[in-house]
Homo-oligomer: A and B are copies of this chain.
Amino acid sequence: MRNTPVYENILIVGGGLIGSSIARACREYGAAARVVMTDRDTAVRTSLRGLDICDEVSDEANPADADLVIIAVPPGSIADTAKALLLHMKPGATLTDVGSVKADVVDNIAPHLPDGIEFIGGHPIAGTEQSGPEAGFASLFTDRWCILTPADAQSAAAQTLEKFWQALGSRVEFMDAKHHDLVLATTSHLPHLIAYALVGTATDMETVTRGEVVKYSAAGFRDFTRIAASNPIMWRDVFLQNKDAVLDVLGRYIEDLTALKKAVRWGDGDTLLKEFTKTRDIRTRIIDAGQDSPEPNFGRDVAGEED
């Protein structure tokens, strides 16, 4: 469906998976009249020009005409990018980002906001394990949640940004930045850390070869490798920025894992069965909420691809 443009002029800074998907979605759903993109990497700019997914690819980030500026760079570069952009943005414009950690960014940018410009933290809960401008697609945000962390959810800027994400197909939720970071530490950051650690452990075993790990990965391991294939720079930044919340949930997790370890050591089948049974409920709820596919094995057909 096409929408009336929510913004006249948008500047997207950063042409990776998320930035390029926003540009594609803007065009597909008519969410903005004009979209300019930029990226500090020459090769990415060249790719973006070849992909033809926006109205202009600019060598420099020039936000002077933009009604909305979207920062889609790795979390560790967001605050510095924001400070540079704020020097040249026009009054009444909105600055937002798409980073996975919110409180750190909000706290860092707030002191640098000129009168008349609002910064609203944003985080589309969408993505894949792939990176770069070619990996993006227009429907990435369709029916996914986008969390916004405005200082004032009732402000005109927040309401307009909500309409923009809805135009891209998202469901929007306003949330306190610190609470966002704790929720995502649980549902995203901890799962990624766990997966990275497991892939490291499995590849470092001296009694099991890497060939064996690869060969018999279908028994569970392969799902973790997908998660652990995500953009390493982005994830480094996430853990540096969301340290406190990650250490909190990670501490709890190690406690729970240690309890299971003790049950294994003592042959305590009752405890194991109880723990393994209670986890089924949440899976059912996730499928009912449309947040995952009910198909077994995510419906993947690996064997078929080899034929």
Q: Which residue numbers of A lie inside 8 Å of B, CB to CB?
A: 76, 100, 125-130, 135, 139, 142-145, 147, 169, 173, 182-184, 186-205, 207-208, 210, 212-230, 232-233, 235-237, 239-240, 243, 246-247, 249-250, 252-254, 256-258, 260-261, 263-265, 267, 269, 272-273, 275-280, 282-283, 285-286, 289-303, 305-306
Q: In the complex, A276→B199 CA distance in Å?
A: 9
This chain: copies in complex: 2
What's the nearest-Cβ distance from chain B to residue A272, in Å?
4
- When the two chains form their complex, are residues A205 and B218 in contact, meaning their CB atoms are under 8 A apart? no
Additional pairs, 17, CB under 8 Å, beyond known A293-B302, A295-B300: A125-B218, A127-B219, A135-B296, A144-B303, A145-B216, A183-B212, A187-B212, A191-B219, A193-B264, A197-B257, A200-B279, A210-B285, A214-B286, A217-B286, A225-B282, A228-B279, A230-B276
Residues of B within 8 A of A261 (CB): 247, 250, 254
Known: A236-B276, A290-B306. A219 touches B184 (CB 8 A): yes
- What are 12 of the A-B contact pairs (CB < 8 Å)? A184-B219, A186-B202, A187-B219, A191-B198, A191-B221, A202-B282, A210-B285, A223-B227, A233-B273, A239-B263, A240-B269, A254-B258
- When the two chains form their complex, are residues A129 and B236 in contact, meaning their CB atoms are under 8 A apart? no
Interface centre among A213, A249, A254, A279 (most CB of B within 10 A): A279
Residues of B within 8 A of A293 (CB): 300-302, 305
- When the two chains form their complex, are residues A290 and B264 in contact, meaning their CB atoms are under 8 A apart? no
Nearest 8 CB-CB pairings of A with B? A128-B296, A188-B219, A232-B276, A191-B220, A143-B303, A298-B298, A199-B279, A228-B279
Residues of B within 8 A of A126 (CB): 218
